[in-house]
Amino acid sequence: MDSPWMYVGLFLIVGTLIPVAPIVISALVAPRKPNPIKQSTYECGIETVGDSWVQFKAQYYVYALVFLIFDVEVVFLFPWALSLNLLPMFVVVEGIIFILILFAGLIYAWRKGMLEWA
């Protein structure tokens, strides 16, 4: 292994092999005994009536994504807030700009009606 690119190539091979190998192995050794009962739609112990594929409003997914975005950003702000008295003024100003951008995104989502659950 003289070249550093050998490590990159090895990493790519192993990184591809690890997720692909279980999928291939399970496809080869999984039992296949389909029958109409196993392939019928079963939900909460009640036989389904009509079509089992129901479309959900995209607004539910947008609501979840907005929540996830702001929830993850709190994780970034927590260490910043804990070490606020040790940080230089530049970092404090950058954090305040970050909070203002988040606030602008919240106002935008609010005005677009993305936070309405109706």
Domain ranges in the chain are 4-47, 58-111
The DSSP code for 41 is -
Q: What is the pLDDT at residue 16?
A: 96
Q: What is the pLDDT at residue 48?
A: 66
Q: What is the pLDDT at residue 84?
A: 86
Q: What is the pTM of this model?
A: 0.50
40: number of CA atoms within 13 Å, CB side? Answer: 10
Q: What is the pLDDT at residue 104?
A: 92
Question: In the chain, which residues have pLDDT < 50?
Answer: none
Angle CA 69–71–75, to nearest 5: 110
For the chain, give the number of residues.
Answer: 118
Q: What is the pLDDT at residue 87?
A: 87
Q: What is the pLDDT at residue 32?
A: 86
